[in-house]
Amino acid sequence: MSSISEYLQGIHCMDRMLWFQLYLILLADVFLGSQAIEEQVFVTQPENLSVVEGATAILKCKVKNKQGILQWTRNDFALGKDRNLPSFERYSMVGNDDAMEYNLRIVNASMEDDALYQCQVTPTKDVAGIRSNTVRLTVLFRPDQPQILEAPIAPVILGEPTNITCEAKNGKPAAKISWYLNGQMMNRKLYSTEVRRKKNKLVDSIGHVLLVPKSEHSGKILECYAINEALTRPHKTSVKLDVQYPPDIMMQINVTGKIQEGMNVQLTCNGFANPQHIRWKWYRNGKHLSKQTGNTLNLPSISHVYNTNTITCEASNAVGSTRKEKKLNIEYGPRFITTTSHVAVDLEENAKLKCEAEGNPQPSIIWRKKSSHHILGSGSTLELRQVREADLGTYCCTATVVGFNEISRDVLLLKNGPPHILREKQLYTRKDETARIECIAISVPKPVNMYWMRNGKAIDYPSSERFSASDEELPYGMKSTLQIKNVHAEDFGSYNCSVTNKYGEDMAVITLLEEEVLPMPYIIGGAVGSVAVILIIILACVIYHKYKNTDSGTDSYTDSDSTMEKKKDVKSESPTLMDQWRQDYNKEFYRYSDNYDELYNSKSNNNAHVLHTEPYTLDPSNREGSMMPPAYDYVSRPGNDDVPGPADRYESNYNRTYVPRSFKSEITDTYTMPRLPPADLSNTKFATNV
C-alpha cells in the first residue's frame, strides 16, 4: 500500500515537473534510444463471475511490463503478495510467472467469497501503478429440496379454492417455483413470495397455487419445481391430490308405477362420496326419523296417511351433506270423512244430503235412493228441492275410486214431526235391587226435553236420593234412563215418560212390577209336577193312538195344539223397528263401556261383508281415519303403541261417525216403518235389571 501512496504523491508533483519530465523523456529518446522504460499494462483483466458454492472460481489478471507488486483486493482489502496467499487458505494466485499471469483462484467457493475483486500493480520510481476493473464474484447457492406442506397426499375439497404451498429455502439467488399438474405446466393463479435472510444472502422462496379442485383431479399428481442458476436441473417434489366431495346420491323406490295403500315400500338412497364413510338420516315431512340410520327406509304396508308426505334422505360425510327427497303419492280407496246420518226437513223445503269422502285419486260420489238403481246425482251433496212426502226415506251415497272397493253409506231424509216413544209397557224387578227404566224416543228434530213422572207426579230427585235420571242423545232421538237404587215396595207402579219437541209431544207409561221369587219347595214341587204332567201326556198319546178314530172327544187335543202354536207365533214375531233400535242402542251402550274390544272383534269376525258399507267402524286399517291424522313417526304402524287405539278413536269420533247399520229399509213414513229381517236378538237387552 505504501508504494501506492508514494506513487499517488508523485502524481501530484507531475504538474510542476511535467514540462521538465517531457524534456527528459525527449532527451532520453534522443540519447538512450530503445532503452526507454515502458508502462505496466493489463493484458487480461478480470470479469464478473458466478460460481456455484463449493466449486472453483478463477479471476483472471495478466500484466505486461510488470514492475511493481501485484496484489488482489477483495472488497478493497489486499489479500497478499505471495502467490500462495497464506492468509487465505482457499485462495492462491496461479499462472505462469514468465507470462506474468496472476489469476486469483478460489477453491470450494463459499459465501465469504461473494464480493468485489480488483487486481492492482504498484508503481515503481519509473512506472505508474495500475488497477483493473472492479468485478463481482457471485457465489450461487442451490436451494434446498422444495417441500409441499400437504405432501404426500393433499386432501382438497371439490370446487373449493385451495392454496397448495411449496417452499424452496436457502437459494441464492431466490429459487423460482413452478407447478405442474398431471405433467402440464400451470400458469394461472400462481403466487410467490421471497423471504431474505438477514444473516446471510440466502433467500427462501414460497410458492402457492390456487387450485379449484375438480372431480377429474382426483388422484392426480401436483408437482412443484424449484430452480435457480446454481442448478442445472430443477429440484422437484410432488403431492397426490385427494379430491374430497360430499355424497352424490340418488333416491330410489322399489315400487315401479303407482304406490297403493298397503304396499310394502322401500326407499333406498345410494351414491358416492369421498371420504367414503356416509352417515344416513331420514326425514318425514322434515321431521327426523331418529331410528333410521341405514340407507334404506322400509315402509311396510304403507298407510294412506303417508300420501303427499315428503320423505328426505340425507347423506353426510366429513366434507358435507346432500339431501334427496321424494313426495309420496299413495293411492287409496275411498273413505267417508264427514257423516250426517240423517237430514230433517219440513215438506216443501229444500234439503241437502251430504256425504263427503276422501281417497286418492279423489273419489267420485253418486246418489241413489235405497233399493233403486236410478242415479239421482253425483258429488258430495245431493240437493233436493221442495221435498215431498215421496222423497222421504233412505238415500245411499256410493264413493268410488278406480281400482279400489267402493263404499256406500245411507243418509236418511226425515220429516220433522212430533216425537214418538218406543213403548215398553212393563218391567219386572226385585226389591232392594237397582232398576233402570229406559224411555227411547224417536224425535226429529231433537227433543226439547224428556221427563219422568211417577203416579202422575213429578219426581223430586234431590229428596228421593235413590232416583236419578240421565239423558243420552241418539242419532235421531233421545234416550232417558231413570235409575232407582235399592227398590222399595212403594216404588212399584206407573212411571210416566214424556218427551216434547217443537212439533209436539208424546208420553208413555211404563209399569214397574215386582218379580216374585218362588220359595224352594214350590220350585221342587213345580219340577216334580211337570214331570208328572209330561208322563201323563205321553200316556194319553199312547192311549189316543190306540183308540184313534173311535170318538170325537180326541179333537180337544188338536185344538189345544193349535192354540199353543198360535202363542208361539206371537212370541217369535220378527223384530220390529223398535227392536232394531234397541239393538243398536244397546250396542252403543257397549261401545261406551269397556267392552268395546269384544264388540269390535265380533264385528270383524262375523260381519266381514259389511266392510264395504261401514269402513269407518270396521276397517281396521282405518284407524287414522279421523280428520286429523296423528303426527306419528313412520315406524308407527297400525298396531304400534303410538297409533291411536280403538278406544281413543271412538271417544272422539263416535258422535260424528255413527249410523245405525241395521237401519236399511225404505222408510215410507217417518215413524211407521216396515219390519226388518230377523236379527240376532240374543244380545239385546232393554230396561236391564241388574
Ligand X SMILES: *[C@@H]1O[C@H](CO)[C@@H](O)[C@H](O)[C@H]1NC(C)=O
Contacting ligand X (CB under 6 A), which of 103, 132, 312, 496?
496
448 Cβ contact partners less than 8 Å away, ≥ 6 residues apart: 500, 501, 502
Measured between alpha carbons, how far is 185 from 183 in angstroms, rounded to an integer? 6
Judged by CB under 6 A, which of 3, 298, 316, 689 binds ligand X?
298
Q: Does residue number 255 form part of the binding site for ligand X (CB under 6 A)?
A: yes
Q: In this complex, which beta carbon is closest to ligand X, that of residue 195 or of residue 540?
A: 195
Q: Give the whole-angstrom CA distance, residue 492 versus residue 653.
A: 39
Element (H, E) at 422: strand 420-422
Chain centroid offset of residue 367 CA:
42
- Within residues 131-150, the interface with ligand X by CB under 6 A covers 135-136
Of the pair 163, 574, the CB lying nearest ligand X is at 163
Strand partners, 325: 312
What is the nearest approach in angstroms of ligand X to the Cβ of residue 189? 8
Tell me which stretch binds ligand X (CB under 6 A): 81-89, 343-351, 493-501, 521-529: 493-501
Distance CA 492, CA 512 (A): 5
CB 102 within 8 Å of CB 48: no
Q: Is residue 163 close enough to count as binding ligand X by CB under 6 A?
A: yes
Q: Which of 588, 595, 340, 599 is CA-nearest to residue 479? A: 588
State which residue, 362 or 494, has the beta carbon closest to ligand X.
494
- Say if strands 426-429 and 504-514 run parallel, antiparallel, or are unpaired: parallel
Q: Which is nearer to ligand X, 374 or 457 (CB)?
A: 457
Query: Considering only residues 3, 45, 73, 266, which one is a binding residue for ligand X as defined by CB under 6 A?
Result: 266
Least distance from ligand X to the Cβ atom of residue 201, Å: 13
* 485 contacts: CB under 8 Å, gap ≥ 6: 434, 466, 467, 468
Binds ligand X by CB under 6 A, chosen from 509, 610, 618, 676: 509
Cell 496484489 appears where? Answer: 71
Q: How far is the CB of 593 from ligand X (least distance, A)?
A: 32
CA distance 578 to 439: 12
Indicate whether 655 belongs to the interface with ligand X (CB under 6 A).
no
In the bound state with ligand X, the residue whose beta carbon lies nearer, of 178 and 339, is 178
- Closer to ligand X by Cβ: residue 298 or 653: 298
Q: In angstroms, give the least distance from the CB of 115 to ligand X.
A: 11
Instruction: Using CB under 6 A, pick the residue from 21, 182, 264, 350 that binds ligand X.
Output: 264
Q: CA-to-CA distance for 363 and 342, rounded, in angstroms?
A: 22
CB of 367 to ligand X, least distance (A): 38
Cα–Cα distance between 6 and 126 in angstroms, integer?
A: 12
Q: Candidates 228-236, 394-402, 494-502, 664-672 — which segment interacts with ligand X by CB under 6 A?
A: 494-502
Asked if 471 contacts 479 with a C-beta cutoff of 8 angstroms, the reply is yes
Is residue 159 involved in binding ligand X (CB under 6 A)? no
Which of 443, 533, 451 has its CA nearest to residue 497? 451
Indicate which single residue of 208, 369, 436, 485 sits in contact with ligand X (rule: CB under 6 A).
Answer: 208
Judged by CB under 6 A, does residue 45 bind ligand X?
no
DSSP string, 141-179: BPPPPPEETT-SEEEEETT--EEEEEEEEEEBSPPEEEE
| Encoded amino acid at 494, one letter | S
Binding segment (CB under 6 A) for ligand X, from list 177-185, 216-224, 390-398, 492-500: 492-500
Nearest to 396 by CA among 385, 416, 384, 412: 412
Q: What three-state secondary structure class fits 216?
A: helix
* Selected binder of ligand X within 182, 350, 426, 494 (CB under 6 A): 494
Binding residues among 165-204 for ligand X as defined by CB under 6 A: 191
For residue 297, the minimal CB distance to ligand X (Å) is: 10
Q: What is the distance between the alpha carbons of residues 452 and 508, in angstroms, rounded to a whole number?
A: 10
Q: How near is the Cβ of 453 to ligand X at its closest, in Å?
A: 5
What minimum distance in Å lies between the beta carbon of 494 and ligand X? 5
> How many of the chain's residues bind ligand X (CB under 6 A)?
20
Residue with smaller CB distance to ligand X, 73 or 266: 266
Q: Which three cell numbers stand for residue 453?
A: 213422572
* DSSP H or E stretch at residue 258: none
Binding site for ligand X (CB under 6 A): 48, 135-136, 161, 163, 191, 208, 210, 254-255, 264, 266, 298, 453, 456, 494, 496, 498, 507, 509
